[in-house]
């Protein structure tokens, strides 16, 4: 993130449909969006792996 910040910001802007001329006003929001998306990814991974594991673990009799 430190080395390729402009590249990452450009990719996120392209995914969200933000024009390159308007990227400066979203520079802080892009950082927050990045952390939000990382949190959403971690939450999705947690749910997709933990819930099936719990079902398998507690369904054994």
Instruction: Reply yes or no on whether the pLDDT at 59 is more than 80.
Output: yes
Average pLDDT over residues 30-59: 89
Q: What is the CA angle 25-31-3, rounded to 5?
A: 105
Q: Please state the length of the chain.
A: 61
Q: What is the overall mean pLDDT for the chain? A: 81
Q: From residue 53, how far is each of 14, 22, 41, 48 by CA, in Å?
A: 36, 44, 18, 9
Write down the pLDDT at residue 27.
60
The pLDDT of residue 57 is 92
Tokens of 21: 């001329």
pTM check: above 0.75: no
Contact 1, 8 (CB under 8 A): yes
| pLDDT of 39 strictly over 60 | yes
Give me the pLDDT at residue 1, please.
57
Average pLDDT over every residue of 11-38: 76
């Amino acid at each position: 993130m430190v080395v390729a910040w402009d590249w990452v910001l450009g990719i996120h802007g392209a995914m969200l449909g933000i024009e390159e001329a308007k990227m400066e006003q979203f520079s802080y929001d892009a950082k927050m969006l990045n952390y939000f998306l990382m949190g959403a990814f971690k939450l999705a991974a947690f749910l997709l792996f933990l819930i099936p594991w719990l079902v398998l673990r507690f369904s054994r009799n």
